[in-house]
């Protein structure tokens, strides 16, 4: 854990003003007066799928590149920390008052209560709804010169965590002038998005008036390279300075000083379509779950850079260890008897197609007839959400959207969930999640989250396969890369070469 003195030193780091320095790699990340370095060359795994919309999958691209921020951030312990809001108080069950720090948008306008309220209102009106607002209704209004009052329809003890979501970034009024929210030159982070070249590249320049201090790098040249081997080779041949999501098959090709492994809250799972098709039958879901062996995947596919799946939350969520109740009421397994199923996955994370191939073999051995479909994620998500596949292999960071362990269950596994790839709609699950959502005490909320997790696992709509460790490639001349277990940040004010 960072010391109080250390927290003050790293106060300007993107999205975690209190503790982000705990995630940094490559040496000193102190700011204040350092000479300009070179532009940073960064290779990212996922190209923008929605023209850099802040409300969907592209939201984390913006936070990882230091473009956008929310009212709050996550600290190293997973608690809410100040970002654009310097403090907050809970007035009663449904009302919170957030006091804003002095900051400006990249278009030169001030971050005002009216601007913040407007940005949050636009987020509530976005369709599809941002995952952090799944099942939540809120209103935001100006309250005085420096404060915003946020009111939720139902009590929401996790609101400060929820507002840390990359999907609830605060943009200036100019961002909403067109048909879609546009983060180009309208955000508040240390780097300004200035040019986008389709889905291939993006150019960012330093925003010198950033409230958290002037970034040490003058800008970022980002490339989107879906192929993991190509990303790794770009780092090895010094075409880029940072390469995210290095495939485990490529990890050994990197020199020890350039390979950084981070335990994360990301779980690779097999999601079974409980809404229609073969896996609407709970006994066939049970048969699929019984056929899968995650330990084989952890050792063979991930080459030891992962742990066998035990739940929605992995080992990086330390409070869950050893406290999980057993899933009760699971259906018995039926004989698949040649049942034909389609399993889909994406190749942006290079291990996933191999995971799918091993699963194909395991499921075929159990009696299923399995067809695989592999696409880039941006060409797959809409069909997956529409339930066009029987099963989906995906890697999901359980604390990415809000930092709240209950919110991911509401988003992914309830009847009204905005990212319910399993199309699960189960009354017991909805009740367990609702019970957890009402808990305001941190320990009580965690216990309730584990009970709700058990209710989800009992349906066999999700089969946790492995809990991942992420490998990031960092050039030896680079300092201050943010190795974040929540995968929200990568480049901050102290990142330089």
C-alpha to C-alpha distance for 53 and 65, rounded to whole angstroms: 14
C-alpha to C-alpha distance for 332 and 286, rounded to whole angstroms: 6
Beta strands 306-308; 95-100: pairing state: unpaired
Kindly state whether residue 370 falls inside one of the protein's structural domains: yes
Average confidence (pLDDT) over 410-421: 92
Which of 101-115, 156-170, 253-267, 322-336 has maximum average pLDDT?
A: 101-115
Average confidence (pLDDT) over 301-324: 88
Kindly state whether residue 40 falls inside one of the protein's structural domains: yes
Residues 358-390: pLDDT tens digits? 999 999 999 999 999 999 998 999 999 999 999
C-alpha to C-alpha distance for 346 and 395, rounded to whole angstroms: 10
C-alpha to C-alpha distance for 9 and 28, rounded to whole angstroms: 10
Identify the domain containing residue 268 by its residue range: 263-469
Number of domains in the chain: 2
Residue 207 clears pLDDT 70, i.e. is over it = yes
Specify whether 58 is located in the same domain as 148: yes
C-alpha to C-alpha distance for 405 and 445, rounded to whole angstroms: 8
Check: CB of residue 49 under 8 Å from CB of residue 57. Answer: yes
Average confidence (pLDDT) over 35-56: 88
Under the banding of pLDDT at 50, 70 and 90, the label for residue 497 is: very high
Average confidence (pLDDT) over 452-460: 98
Specify whether 214 is located in the same domain as 272: no
Under the banding of pLDDT at 50, 70 and 90, the label for residue 15 is: very low
Average confidence (pLDDT) over 443-467: 95
Residue 34 clears pLDDT 50, i.e. is over it = no
Q: What pLDDT is stored for residue 132 in this prediction?
A: 87
Q: Which residue has the higher pLDDT, 25 or 347?
A: 347
Q: In Å, how far from its chain's centre is CA 55?
A: 12
Q: What pLDDT is stored for residue 485 in this prediction?
A: 85
Neighbours of 379 (CB within 10 A): 10
What integer best gives the mean pLDDT of the chain? 90
Kindly state whether residue 258 falls inside one of the protein's structural domains: no
CB contact set of 353 (below 8 Å; sequence gap of 6+): 345, 347, 372, 374
Least confident segment among 94-108, 305-319, 422-436: 305-319
Kindly state whether residue 286 falls inside one of the protein's structural domains: yes
Report pTM.
0.77
DSSP code for 479: B
Kindly state whether residue 255 falls inside one of the protein's structural domains: no
Q: What pLDDT is stored for residue 20 in this prediction?
A: 36
Under the banding of pLDDT at 50, 70 and 90, the label for residue 331 is: very high
- Whole-number Cα distances in Å, 37 to 323, 350, 479: 47, 32, 11
Residues 119-142: pLDDT tens digits? 999 999 998 888 888 778 999 999
Going 338 to 329 to 314 to 165, the CA torsion angle's sign is: positive
Please give the structure tokens belonging to residue 44.
């990212």
Specify whether 181 is located in the same domain as 300: no
Specify whether 200 is located in the same domain as 287: no
Q: What pLDDT is stored for residue 2 in this prediction?
A: 40
DSSP code for 23: G
Residue 273 clears pLDDT 80, i.e. is over it = yes
Specify whether 202 is located in the same domain as 312: no
Average confidence (pLDDT) over 277-303: 96
Average confidence (pLDDT) over 251-278: 93
Specify whether 304 is located in the same domain as 418: yes
Residue 11 clears pLDDT 60, i.e. is over it = no
Average confidence (pLDDT) over 345-352: 90
Of all residues in the chain, what percent carry a pLDDT higher than 70? 93
Specify whether 273 is located in the same domain as 196: no
Q: What pLDDT is stored for residue 442 in this prediction?
A: 79
CATH at 279: 3.10.105.10
Please give the structure tokens belonging to residue 203.
């150019």
Residues 145-173: pLDDT tens digits? 999 999 999 899 889 999 999 999 999 99
Q: Which residue has the higher pLDDT, 9 or 376?
A: 376
Q: What pLDDT is stored for residue 125 in this prediction?
A: 94
Q: What pLDDT is stored for residue 25 in this prediction?
A: 56
C-alpha to C-alpha distance for 42 and 14, rounded to whole angstroms: 16
Kindly state whether residue 34 falls inside one of the protein's structural domains: yes
The candidate with the shortest Cα–Cα distance to 431, out of 412, 454, 407, 414, is 414
Query: Helix (H, G, I), strand (E, B), or coil: what is residue 74?
Result: strand
- What is the DSSP secondary-structure string of 97-159? EEEEPS-B-TTS-B--HHHHHHHHHHHHH-SSPPGGGTT--EEEEEETTTEEEEEESS--TTH
Specify whether 371 is located in the same domain as 303: yes
CATH at 168: 3.40.190.10
Specify whether 215 is located in the same domain as 275: no
Q: What pLDDT is stored for residue 16 in this prediction?
A: 33
Kindly state whether residue 257 falls inside one of the protein's structural domains: no
Under the banding of pLDDT at 50, 70 and 90, the label for residue 23 is: low
Query: Helix (H, G, I), strand (E, B), or coil: what is residue 454?
Result: helix
Kindly state whether residue 462 falls inside one of the protein's structural domains: yes
Furthest C-alpha separation in the chain: 69
Specify whether 280 is located in the same domain as 209: no
Specify whether 38 is located in the same domain as 96: yes
Specify whether 212 is located in the same domain as 269: no
Residues 417-433: pLDDT tens digits? 888 999 999 999 999 99
Q: What pLDDT is stored for residue 118 in this prediction?
A: 97
Q: What pLDDT is stored for residue 413 in this prediction?
A: 96
Please give the structure tokens belonging to residue 497.
């070469």
């Amino acid at each position: 854990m960072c010391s109080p003195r250390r927290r003050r030193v790293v106060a300007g780091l993107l999205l975690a003003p209190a503790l982000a320095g705990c995630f940094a790699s490559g040496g000193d990340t102190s700011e204040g007066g350092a000479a300009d370095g070179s532009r940073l060359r960064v290779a990212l795994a996922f190209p923008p799928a929605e023209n850099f919309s802040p409300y969907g999958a592209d939201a984390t691209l913006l936070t990882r590149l230091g473009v956008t921020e929310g009212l709050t951030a996550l600290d190293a312990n997973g608690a809410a920390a100040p970002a654009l809001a310097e403090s907050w108080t809970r007035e009663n069950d449904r009302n919170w008052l957030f006091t804003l720090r002095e900051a400006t948008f990249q278009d030169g306008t001030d971050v005002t209560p009216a601007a913040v309220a407007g940005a949050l209102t636009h987020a509530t009106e976005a369709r599809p709804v941002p995952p952090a607002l799944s099942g939540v209704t809120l209103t935001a209004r100006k309250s005085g010169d420096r404060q915003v009052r946020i009111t939720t329809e139902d009590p929401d003890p996790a609101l400060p965590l929820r507002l840390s979501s990359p999907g609830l970034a605060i943009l200036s009024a100019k961002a909403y002038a067109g048909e879609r929210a546009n983060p180009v030159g309208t955000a508040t982070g240390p780097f300004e998005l200035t040019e986008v070249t389709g889905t291939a590249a993006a150019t960012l320049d330093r925003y010198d008036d950033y409230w958290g201090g002037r970034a040490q790098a003058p800008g970022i040249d980002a490339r989107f390279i879906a192929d993991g081997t190509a990303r790794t080779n770009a780092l090895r041949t010094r075409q880029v300075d940072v390469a995210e999501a290095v495939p485990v098959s490529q990890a050994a090709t990197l020199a020890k000083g350039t390979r950084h492994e981070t335990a994360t809250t990301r779980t690779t799972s097999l999601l079974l379509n409980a809404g229609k098709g073969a896996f609407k039958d709970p006994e066939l879901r049970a048969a699929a779950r019984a056929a899968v062996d995650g330990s084989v995947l952890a050792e063979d596919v991930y080459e030891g850079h992962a742990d066998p799946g035990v739940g929605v939350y992995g080992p990086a969520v330390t409070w869950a260890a050893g406290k999980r109740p057993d899933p009760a009421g699971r259906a018995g397994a039926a004989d698949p008897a040649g049942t034909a199923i389609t399993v889909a996955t994406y190749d942006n994370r290079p291990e996933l197609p191999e995971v799918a191939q091993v699963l194909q073999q395991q499921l075929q051995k159990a009696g299923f007839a399995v067809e695989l479909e592999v696409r880039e994620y941006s060409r797959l998500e809409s069909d997956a959400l529409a339930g066009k596949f029987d099963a989906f292999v995906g890697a999901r960071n359980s604390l990415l959207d809000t930092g709240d362990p209950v919110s991911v269950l509401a988003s992914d596994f309830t009847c009204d969930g905005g990212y319910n790839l399993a199309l699960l709609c189960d009354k017991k699950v909805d009740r367990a999640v609702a019970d957890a959502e009402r808990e305001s005490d941190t320990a009580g909320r965690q216990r309730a989250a584990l009970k709700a997790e058990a209710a989800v696992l009992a349906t066999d709509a999700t089969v946790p396969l492995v809990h991942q460790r992420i490998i990031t490639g960092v050039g030896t001349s680079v300092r201050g890369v943010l190795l974040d277990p929540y995968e929200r940040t990568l480049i901050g004010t102290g990142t330089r070469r």
